[in-house]
Structure 1
Amino acid sequence: MSISEQIEEKKNQLRKLKEELSIKRYGENPLILKTTSSDVQSFNSSPLKIRRCLRGHLGKIYGMHWSQDSTRIVSASQDSRLIVWNANSTNKLLAIALSSNWVMATGFAPSGKMVASGGLDNVCSIFDITDTEDENLSAFRELNGHTGYISCTRFLDDQQILTSSGDMSCILWDINSGSKITEFLDHNGDVMFLTLKPGDSNIFISGSCDGTAKLWDVRTSECEYTFEGHESDVNTVSFFPNGNCFGTGSDDATCKFFDIRVGAEVNNYEKDEILCAVTSVDFSLSGRFLFASYDDYRFYMWDVLKGEEVIAMNKHSNRISSLGVSPDGYALCTASWDKEIKIWA
């Protein structure tokens, strides 16, 4: 038997052992939501409508994030710009010139006073946006320490920020001093995204190209739990509104729903017709729906309980790179490589 055949045999043995352990722990069907919600009526919904369209970027948009008060959106594009938008009027409030056009991530501080960006320059740049009249705004803090691209930035508050990176790590930073507080190093592949627990920013989930999502506590540097199940890169993660569960999206064309309390996958979202990667996920404010964008220019709204497709929308002309539900729950925003941002309701 060749070495490759031996490796494949060991992989099959490992897969069978995992299945046996899962059955012992969760029963024959661990996807308990589909089982327990069989009597729940399917949700019939009219399609979402585009209420606003934000135009102004000249390059592919790679990231977007809502402000906590749901009135503003920050977007990052390969035109070397961060733009802060008024989500209601569609006006540009601020355009920030970046030193690198390979920007991949952005984020709003909960206070709304700062935004961050990061990308292939391996640097997280922090901008104070309280003065929107400054046309030559520069970063007041640049956080250097990652040895790979910055894939996601999320503020805990005005003093601390988390970053994830292609160097397989996440880092918690002190913004005032520009120094590292804690490094999180348990992943074996590029870390693609992170999400903070609602109401408790000490807890976060990261998704990685090693096919796993991991639960962390910023007060320690150890991984609290590893969630497996995807067959390829985990590109995106999002906490359920109550903080007890989270959703993931992967290159394997599926979304999954994990319950932290039992440490298991309790539902999944897939169709035979979907063959492309999931790029971004987020939940409705009620938690009943999961929104997921895909490489085929469309996004789906899934029934979280039943695992069924509710609607599929295709109004962008290129890849949807990022989506997010506004904190007040009234709107969904999608950002695309077609240089447009659309707000849905």
Structure 2
Amino acid sequence: MKLKRFFLRYYPPGIILEFEKGGYLRTKSIDLLDLTPETNPDELVAEIRQSEPLITESRADQVKQLIFRLQQKQGQQDHHRFCFFKELKAHILPLTNVAFDKSGSRFITGSYDRTCRVWDTASGTELHTLEGHRNVVYAIAFNNPYGDKIATGSFDKTCKLWCAETGKCFHTFRGHIAEIVCLAFNPQSTLVATGSMDTTAKLWDVETGEEVATLTVNVIVYTTDCCFLFFLRRVHTLIGHRGEISNVQFNWDCSLIVTGSMDKTCKLWETVSGKCVATLVGHKEEVLDVCFDLSGQTIATASADGTARVFSATTHECLVTLEGHDGEISKICFSPQGNRVLTASSDKTARLWDVQSGVCLQVLEGHTDEIFSCVFNYEGDTIITGSKDNTCRIWY
């Protein structure tokens, strides 16, 4: 193996190694999820060298400089205040979901009007309308980090693969017998995973359009988030909730799974053992959404009781309760840096919160109906909100 070059990943912190093996270029990542501005770079380089043979003594100084850059990024103060930039009359019927490409230069919207639209973030110009589905376009995704393909999942039971540059449809994946409610690309962008209300998940080959595998599961979670399926067999059945599951998510290294439920709780599970390690309580109504921050250190929950909560993924204690919305919170997400939380509510507002203090930093107002989708771009300096009022708003 021969190391060719390094790539830096800011969120979550890590270093990507590009190396040659057997005449082919390959990559692997060194995840630095516990990195802080106080971490000793020399000690960390020594630890990395012990576990990674590609990092030789001659490369140690380069790795140290990359760690310095990651620490400098972490140490930057975030005082960004978002300003309304533009409202897009995106669709003739309500939106279902919004998603950025890796660079944040483009985003996509799905809708009950059976289309997905591609937008230029900087200008708000519509680039393409992806037409062809015969029912609601519910799940959408770019094949990040590449951003040259788009997948759309629909209540018409099909998934379509599109060229992000031209809007051309490459493939229509047929095989599900009920609505498709979640989808995801694998990191290499060679496979698409789809989850359906028919209680199956399917894997599709991006190049050929052929079905690779079908997985039968006990429950397909009705959510716009879909974790990519890495195993072609059932590893564990996670049993413990007393109500429907609203969302499920892996942490970055896939060591933990968090589930939110209509039973008003969240549960934290070990991936390897399938054991429930904690039940996160405190909400008075259904938990409608749940997510990890990118480093996997904290968990955020959103509830029909109009509050959100932030929990420690290690101690499982509630760190802060976010109060201020006048209606149920249906969507929650962390900023890439992990120090801010964004919530979307039926009270027609989205709110930005400080994770440590629980203070509401900003109320994003202007939508005339409930907001049920919100997302940060990769740098965390742009927000898109999607609403039942058929519009999306860009905030810089």
Short-chain TM bin: 0.7 to 0.9
Residue in 2 that maps onto 1:231: 284
Match of 1:154 in 2: 184
Asked if the contact 2:151–2:162 (Cα under 8 Å) also holds between the matched residues in 1, the reply is no
Does 1:311 find its partner at 2:362?
yes
In the TM superposition, what whole-angstrom CA distance separates every residue of 1:67-114 from its partner, at most 9, and x where no partner exists?
Answer: 122122121100000112221232223322243433333222223233
Instruction: Assess, with a 3 A threshold, how the Cα gap between structure 1 residues 214 and 53 changes in structure 2: closer, same or farther.
Output: same
- How high is the TM-score relative to the length of structure 1? 0.72
Q: Which amino acid aligns with 1:213?
A: C
Count of aligned positions: 292
Equivalent-residue separation in structure 2 for 1:86 and 1:223 (angstroms) = 44
| Aligned residue in 2 for 1:174 | 203
Name which of 359, 366, 386 aligns with 1:335: 386
Preserved CA contact (<8 Å) 1:45 1:311? no
| Alignment match, 1:8 | none
Q: Which moved more, 1:68-77 or 1:104-113?
A: 104-113
The equivalent of 2:111 in structure 1 is 77
Of residues 46-55 and 300-309 in structure 1, the stretch that sits farther from structure 2 once superposed is 46-55
**In the alignment, does 2:61 pair up with 1:61?**
no
RMSD over aligned Cα atoms: 3.3
Aligned to 1:3: none
Alignment-mate amino acid for residue 118 of structure 1: G
Question: 1:214: Cα distance to partner?
Answer: 4.2
SS of the aligned residue for 2:247 comes to strand
Q: Cα deviations across residues 283-312 of structure 1 (Å, max 9, x unaligned)?
A: 223322211111010011112111122222
Alignment partner of 1:144 out of 154, 171, 176: 176
Q: Summarize deviations over 1:19-71 as a string: whole Å, max 9, x none.
A: xxxxxxxxxxxxxxxxxxxxxxxx99786211233333111001111112212
Alpha-carbon distance, 1:131 to partner = 5.6
Query: CA 1:291–1:327 in structure 2 vs 1: closer, same or farther (change >3 Å)?
Result: same
Change in Cα spacing, 1:278 to 1:216, as seen in structure 2 (3 Å) is same
In structure 2, how many angstroms separate the alpha carbons of the residues matched to 1:172 and 1:215?
22
Change (3 A) 1:65 1:193: farther
Partners of 1:225 and 1:99 in 2: how far apart? 42
Unaligned runs of 5+ in 2: 1-76, 206-211, 216-231
Q: What is the one-letter code of the residue matched to 1:222?
A: G
CA distance in 2, matches of 1:53, 1:315: 9
Which residue of structure 2 lines up, in the alignment, with residue 92 of structure 1? 126
User: Displacement, 1:281?
Assistant: 1.2
* CA displacement at 1:124 relative to structure 2: 5.9
**What is the DSSP-based 3-state SS (H/G/I as helix, E as strand, rest coil) of the residue aligned with 2:128?**
strand
**What TM-score, normalized to structure 2?**
0.64
Structure 1 pair 247–132 and aligned structure 2 pair: CA distance change class (3 A): same
Q: Say whether the 8 Å CA contact 1:227–1:264 is kept in structure 2.
A: no
Residue 197 of structure 1 is matched in structure 2 by 251
Find the counterpart in structure 1 of residue 42 from structure 2: none
Contact residue 93 and residue 112 of structure 2 kept, 8 A: yes
Q: 1:287 to 1:320 in 2, by over 3 A?
A: same
Q: 1:125 to 1:54 in 2, by over 3 A?
A: same
SS in 2 for 1:90: coil
Equivalent-residue separation in structure 1 for 2:127 and 2:275 (angstroms): 39
1:331, CA displacement in angstroms? 0.5
- Which amino acid letter does the alignment assign opposite residue 251 of structure 2? K
Distance 1:237 1:108, change over 3 A: farther
Of the structure 1 ranges 87-96 and 74-83, higher mean CA displacement relative to structure 2 is found in: 87-96
Which of 295, 300, 319 pairs up with 1:242? 295
Please list, as runs of the form range in 1=range in 2, the aligned pairs for 1:98-113 lying within 5 A after superposition. Answer: 98-110=132-144, 111-113=146-148
Greater displacement, 246-255 / 124-133: 124-133
Q: Distance in 1 between matches of 2:372 and 2:233?
A: 29
In structure 2, the partner of 1:264 is: 317
1:279 and 2:295 matched: no
- What is the deviation of 1:232? 2.6
Conserved in 2, the CA contact under 8 Å of 1:166 and 1:189? no
Deviations 1:181-238 (A, max 9, x none): 355753554443344534x3675544333333344677x6936545432333222223
CA distance in 1 between partners of 2:275 and 2:147 (Å): 30
Tell me the distance in 2 between the aligned counterparts of 1:117 and 1:217.
31
Deviations 1:4-31 (A, max 9, x none): xxxxxxxxxxxxxxxxxxxxxxxxxxxx
Alpha-carbon deviation of 1:316?
A: 0.6
Deviation at 1:163, TM superposition (A): 5.5
Identical pairs, percent: 22
Counterpart of 1:297, as a letter, is K
CA contact 2:115–2:133 (8 Å) conserved in 1: no
